[in-house]
Structure 1
Amino acid sequence: MPKKGNRKRLKFRAGDVCSESVTVADYANADPAVVKSGRVKKAVANAVEKEVKLLCGLEASQGAVQEVLSSAVSVTEDALESSDDLDPEEDGGNETKVARKKKNKRRKESESSEGGEYPVDIWLVLSSYIRPEDVCRFSLICRNAWTVTCTAAFWTRLYRRHYNIDADLPFRLQPDSIDRMRCLRACVIRSLFHLYEPFSLRVSKIPALPESTPTTLLNSKCLLFGVKKVSGTRPEAMWEFNFKFIKQEHSKNGSAKFLCMPRQYEDVHTNPDSDCYLLQVTTLNFIDFTPGVMGMTLTLFTINVSTDMRHHRVRLVFQDSPLQRGRKRGEQGGTQVVLDPVHSVRLMDWWHPQYPSSPCT
């Protein structure tokens, strides 16, 4: 943008003015850079005075001249005020001015207008028609809508709306268990993955091991570790290694999400398995020595081809402290767990139908 001092100002000469070139429109459309102060320059005033004398005759009174000049000044000031909202460097016509004025008017009306606030009972009635996948959108409408999604009545109605007596539900998700307040939200969400068809189809489309698994589990804390024997189609039984991980951010600030929630609804939203993952590794043979890794942090997770070139090989490295951002993990140190040969690897969220939830949920 050129500096103000570099702007070229037009020069008016009294001899250049004639009856065909001086009009009121010239002052209405004047460039603010030419007459920035809003006053007519002396050269322009003299030119107008001379033109008026020529039109009215030598006997024209001085009062008539002053009246014409005052009208020209008022028109120029109005033009300057209307041109303040526009950029002098942009070529905008009357349509641009009108559109910008309408936009400013709408903005002022929106700022001055106050919206109505509906009671919680109205939002509770509307919540009876909300689909499970739209609960988050509904809670973001306003504070009262969010308060409704925190109540036990909302989650109980959502469960009864989609409950089917023919559905194969675990005992902890049966109607008798849903009546309790504690962990009600978590139980209803888990039951919807059994009862609600869009959710069950979503689970079937999830791959057994997503590509983002190594990134997801990085710097996660191992809460539980267990091994159990499972029967399969093979003559010998397979072994299942289960690692339960939780994000470090959740373990440090687990109670932060309850700061703004009403206290009477904290039991409804309690979920010990929130932000937890279950890494399930099924091996063909039993691993004789597996070190204890409970309470340690996972810093490396890789899946490679096994030595027999027919299965997989899983390698997990645990350390006592999380890996600092921007630093590389040293090859030395840490506890290493190698599972080989591996038949399958699965990663499940806390809401997965096959996730072994905590006893209280």
Structure 2
Amino acid sequence: MPRKGGRKRLKFRSEELSPGRVTVADFANSDPAIVKSGRVKKAVANAIQKEVKALCGLEASQVPMEEGLTFAHENGELSESCDESDALESTCKISTFRKKKSKRSKDNTDRELGAQYPIDIWLVLASYIRPEDVGKFSLICKNAWTVSCTAVFWMRLYKRHYHRDVYLPLRLQPECIEVLYCLRARVIRSLYHMYEPFCSRISKNPAVPESTPSTLANSKCLLFWCRKIYRNGQEAVWEFNFKFKKQPPRYRNSCHNGLLYPPVQYKEVHSNPEQDCCLLQVTTLNFIWTPIVMGMTLAFFTINVSTDMRHHRVRLLFQDFPVLNGKKPRVEQGMQVVLDPVHSVRLLDWWHPQYPFFPKS
């Protein structure tokens, strides 16, 4: 039978609270009031502090008594046995400590910002940047990014790698490239003719990368045409061209600090009507009738083995609306284009040397 007086509270003695004599009863069967409030009694705190002083020596003995009592009360809560004066003193110490800590954090942030160099220094450093490191250079700071948007930066990059012996189309010659409109796009195209690392990158990459079906997903067909060409001067083949506008990456919608959008004064330099565009070239051995798919969205794209086991078979499925992620396109809701047999398939980005020229770009 339980006693009428209720549960008896445990009494703590300072001489019996050494770390060597801590029992399970001090934790499992402790006072529910203490467990609920989460506060430590003054007798327990004094006993623990004496043990710490004995172990640490003189340095621990210099610690004030109030700091040892308030170590478990970061939110300003004090023990039950402390009076109002001790509570006020401890709260004042906590507030002053927090103010000092905030001042130190502000000083550290000011030191981490570093020095800001004028834009002329970044313009001088830009003369030594390789074409493949332009993106890294523009991400250093805002002044470096501003320099990479100027027309002077792109003209210097063009003149640094220009050679008379290299063949360039007429639109990429020095006489025609000084126009501000689409200057950045024309310099990038010319680098794929003059700069050896970029030229070798095109030769090493496959005609159709493995990521082509995923990159062309939900791309809009802007233009479609076919033509008859003669290979090796004798054999005639048909070339089907599909110009797609790729879906822009998601990070462009949530631009960080506006770094993806150039300043207004350099908008003509960075303008490019062919941005995110690519050309899918499919060469067949004979003419194949195809429906009109301009303005439709590519929902499905596969390359398989042909029925004769010697060529390829290309299947394109177009729809009027993009397909949501995780859903499969339906054949009955779209327009299907099947090219079989196929001799070769190529994917050309807008900067590729064999990408067709459009007057507006």
On whether the aligned pair clears a TM of 0.5, the verdict is yes
Give the equivalent residue in structure 1 for 2:284.
Answer: 283
For 1:346 and 1:145, how far apart are their aligned partners in 2?
37
For 1:282 and 1:160, how far apart are their aligned partners in 2?
37
Q: Does 1:138 align with 2:140?
A: no
Secondary structure (helix, strand or coil) at the match of 1:231 reads: strand
Count of residues paired in the alignment: 293
Tell me the alpha carbon deviations over residues 38-76 of structure 1, each in whole angstroms, 9 at most, x when there is no partner: 99749969xx9xxxxxxxxxxxxxxxxxxxxxx958544
Q: TM-score, normalised on structure 2?
A: 0.71
Amino acid at match of 2:196: E
Amino acid at match of 1:221: K
User: Does the 8 Å contact 1:39/1:73 carry over to 2?
Assistant: no
**2:110 aligned residue (104, 109, 112):** 112
CA spacing shift, 1:337–1:82, aligned 2, 3 Å: same
User: Does the 8 Å contact 1:214/1:302 carry over to 2?
Assistant: yes
For 1:352 and 1:329, how far apart are their aligned partners in 2?
31
Amino acid at match of 1:310: R
Give the equivalent residue in structure 2 for 1:348.
Answer: 348
Secondary structure (helix, strand or coil) at the match of 1:225 reads: strand
**Ranges in structure 1 where 5+ consecutive residues have no aligned partner:** 1-8, 18-32, 49-70, 86-103
For 1:170 and 1:211, how far apart are their aligned partners in 2?
30
Q: Does 1:268 align with 2:269?
A: yes
CA spacing shift, 1:178–1:82, aligned 2, 3 Å: farther
Q: Percent identical across equivalent pairs?
A: 59
Amino acid at match of 2:126: S
CA spacing shift, 1:317–1:37, aligned 2, 3 Å: closer
CA spacing shift, 1:43–1:155, aligned 2, 3 Å: closer
Pairing of 1:95-174 with structure 2 (within 5 A): 109-113=107-111, 114-174=113-173
Give the equivalent residue in structure 1 for 2:218.
Answer: 219
CA spacing shift, 1:342–1:12, aligned 2, 3 Å: same
User: Does the 8 Å contact 2:45/2:68 carry over to 1?
Assistant: no
Q: CA deviation at 1:331?
A: 2.5
Secondary structure (helix, strand or coil) at the match of 2:166 reads: coil
Amino acid at match of 1:292: I
Tell me the alpha carbon deviations over residues 264-286 of structure 1, each in whole angstroms, 9 at most, x when there is no partner: 21110011110011100011112
User: Does the 8 Å contact 1:239/1:285 carry over to 2?
Assistant: yes
Q: Does 1:318 align with 2:318?
A: yes
Q: TM-score, normalised on structure 1?
A: 0.71
Amino acid at match of 2:263: P
Pairing of 1:82-93 with structure 2 (within 5 A): none
Deviates more, 1:216-225 or 1:300-309: 300-309
For 2:124 and 2:73, how far apart are their aligned partners in 1?
51
User: Does the 8 Å contact 2:14/2:44 carry over to 1?
Assistant: no
Pairing of 1:74-89 with structure 2 (within 5 A): 74-77=63-66
Q: CA deviation at 1:209?
A: 0.9
Give the equivalent residue in structure 2 for 1:97.
Answer: none
Secondary structure (helix, strand or coil) at the match of 2:176 reads: helix
Amino acid at match of 1:188: V
CA spacing shift, 1:179–1:72, aligned 2, 3 Å: closer
Give the equivalent residue in structure 2 for 1:6.
Answer: none
